[in-house]
Amino acid sequence: MAKLPTVFSLRHLLVLSLALNLSLILKLVYEGEHRRSSSNNNHSCFEAQRGTSTNSNPDKSRMLISLPNSTCTDQTARGGTNRIINLDHGDPTVYETYWRQTGEKSTILIPGWQSMSYFSDVSNICWFLEEEFGREVLRLHRVVGNAITEGRHIVVGTGSSQLFLAALYALSPPDAPQPISVVCASPYYSSYPSMTDHLKSGLYKWAGDAESFDKDGPYIEVVTSPNNPDGHVRGSKVNRSQGYLVHDLAYYWPQYTPISSPADHDLTLFTVSKSTGHAGMRIGWALVKDHEVAKKMTKFIELNTIGVSKDSQLRAAKVLRAVSDSWELQGNSQEDESFFKFSHKLMANRWKQLRLVVEQNGLFSLPKFSTAFCTFFNQVLEPQPAFVWLKCEGNVEDCESFLRAHNILTRSGTHFGVNPKYVRISMLDNDENFSQFLDRLSAIKSQ
């Protein structure tokens, strides 16, 4: 009996030691990753400035997403008005804060022998769709209530860009004498025209603003809702019988817009880049009603890239599961916070700050949004888009140049099919850049 306490304390010590060692190991792993990431950030800090300074002719050298700035750790650069704040692109780095505190819930481990085959599930039309990813897509739509998934095929893509091209390929009549017209109401996403026309396809051709489209015959209309760049909820504009609709719903998530009802269309596109902020994964998905269209979209992806990264699909599945779990199992602690609560609060806060600055300086105006009932948060809410569609009021005709003179890089309205009094500005950059942006905007007034 004298030995009993020793056994207990030994056990306790063992348990404690085990816990300690495991946490140390995990800490080591995470810190290793962190160090690597930090060194990457520091590296790109200089490059962003180098990059933007060579971008003297933005029209010619423009990328879909232009050169980013980064969170410079160099204290001399931080906060200085000489530093260029690049809000031209929509890099969703703002969500990194959330994902940092999710730990193993969103961490994935892939052994070297896994996912070697081209194939995922040959019983599926989309034979390269990882079953686990498909399951989490269905679950997330059920949790959020933003899309009807019944009677739809899921086609996974290397981002929704690839799925946009796959949709054009699938909807174009294969033997038409002329390419089918592709239209979208302006202001439209600046990349649609170049994505459509860069290969001079004989199947489809960009035909500009949907509002002024008056050609007879079949056409493809892209409906982006909420719209990139201006954040407005949209429906089809052309409304003729021979139209095929592609609904780009990249931003139809609770942090950006009230979820009014589940989307119920023939072909809708979504992406993890904007929903969870994982742009580097390059994973998007399409919900497709028609069996033949899903098949042709799959064929396009086969001809284009022979499938979609399995690693990223598995990682996306884990991240989507974490998002659904965080809503369904949310607790009271900060660590248990739902992703959508976190991101909605963050966007609400940014928009509030921005409105205040814009109101105070009087040089700019913002789009006006109506409130709507959000079935997800179960309350009446206002849209708070991922981009600001800013208008320079008064005599300023070229808003992009005007802001560039204040070291704020934005994307001119000309790229979106409208006039240069407008610019698109990302609301998804990191805290430091967003705060710098507000400071500079405020300062413009006093000049």
Taking CB under 8 A as the criterion, which residues in 269-308 touch a copy of itself? 273, 277-283, 299-300, 302-308
For tokens 């909820």, name the residue.
233
Host H or E run for residue 144: helix 131-144
Question: Which H/E stretch holds residue 55?
Answer: none
Q: Supply 274's token pair.
A: 């904007």
- C-alpha torsion sign, points 361, 362, 363, 366: positive
342 three-state secondary structure: helix
Of 83, 87, 88, 91, which lies in the binding site for a copy of itself, with binding defined by CB under 8 A?
Answer: 91
Q: Under rule CB under 8 A, which residues in 317-346 are in contact with a copy of itself?
A: 318-319, 322
Q: Which residues contact 14 (CB under 8 A, 6 or more apart)?
A: none
Single out the segment in contact with a copy of itself by CB under 8 A; choices: 105-113, 210-218, 356-364, 396-404: 105-113
Beta carbon of residue 206, minimum distance to a copy of itself (angstroms, whole number)? 13
Residues in the chain: 447
Can residue 310 be called a binding residue for a copy of itself (CB under 8 A)?
A: yes
- Rounded least distance, CB 106 to a copy of itself, Å: 3
Distance, in Å, from the CA atom of 224 to the CA atom of 387, rounded to the nearest integer, reads: 13
- The answer to the question of residue 83 lying near a copy of itself (CB under 8 A) is no
Nearer to a copy of itself among residue 163 and residue 423 (C-beta)? 163
Minimum distance between the CB of residue 5 and a copy of itself, rounded to whole angstroms? 13
Q: How far is the CB of 130 from a copy of itself (least distance, A)?
A: 9
Least distance to a copy of itself from the beta carbon of 173, Å? 12
Nearer to a copy of itself, 282 or 391 (CB): 282
Nearest to 281 by CA among 92, 8, 12, 33: 92
Q: Establish whether the linkage from the previous residue to 226 is cis, with ω within 30° of 0.
A: yes
Question: How near is the Cβ of 119 to a copy of itself at its closest, in Å?
Answer: 5
Tell me which residue of 166, 170, 243, 161 sits closest to 207, measured CA to CA: 243
| Helix, coil or strand: residue 227 | coil
Min dist. Cβ of residue 427 to a copy of itself (A): 16
Beta bridge partners of residue 182, listed in sequence order: 206, 220
**13 vs 356, which CB is nearer to a copy of itself?**
13
* Cβ atoms of residues 245 and 218 within 8 Å: no
Interface pick for a copy of itself out of 53, 73, 114, 239 (rule CB under 8 A): 114
Question: Would you count residue 17 as binding a copy of itself (CB under 8 A)?
Answer: yes
Which of 106/358 has CB closer to a copy of itself?
106
C-alpha 155/C-alpha 195 separation (Å) is 19
CA–CA dist 365, 382 (Å, integer): 17
What tokens does 444 get?
């413009």
Subset of residues 119 to 158 that bind a copy of itself, contact rule: CB under 8 A: 119-123, 127, 131, 158
Asked if residues 319 and 233 have their Cβ atoms less than 8 Å apart, the reply is no
Residue 367 CB, nearest distance to a copy of itself (Å)? 25
Is the previous residue joined to 58 through a cis bond, with omega within 30 degrees of 0? no
- Which listed residue (28, 64, 380, 443) binds a copy of itself by CB under 8 A? 64
Stretch that binds a copy of itself, among 29-37, 141-149, 219-227, 248-256 (CB under 8 A): 29-37
113 touching a copy of itself, by CB under 8 A: yes
Among 42, 77, 84, 99, binds a copy of itself (CB under 8 A): 99
CA distance 51 to 148: 43
Report 163-222 residues binding a copy of itself (CB under 8 A): 165, 169, 191, 194-195, 198-203
The residues, ordered by sequence, that sit 6+ positions from 361 with a Cβ below 8 Å of its Cβ are: 441, 442, 444, 445
Q: Number of residues interacting with a copy of itself: please give it, by CB under 8 A.
A: 96
In the region spanning residues 359 to 418, those forming contacts with a copy of itself, defined by CB under 8 A, are none
CA distance 230 to 424: 8
- Residue span binding a copy of itself (CB under 8 A) among the ranges 224-232, 311-319, 419-427, 431-439: 311-319
CB of 316 to a copy of itself, least distance (A): 9
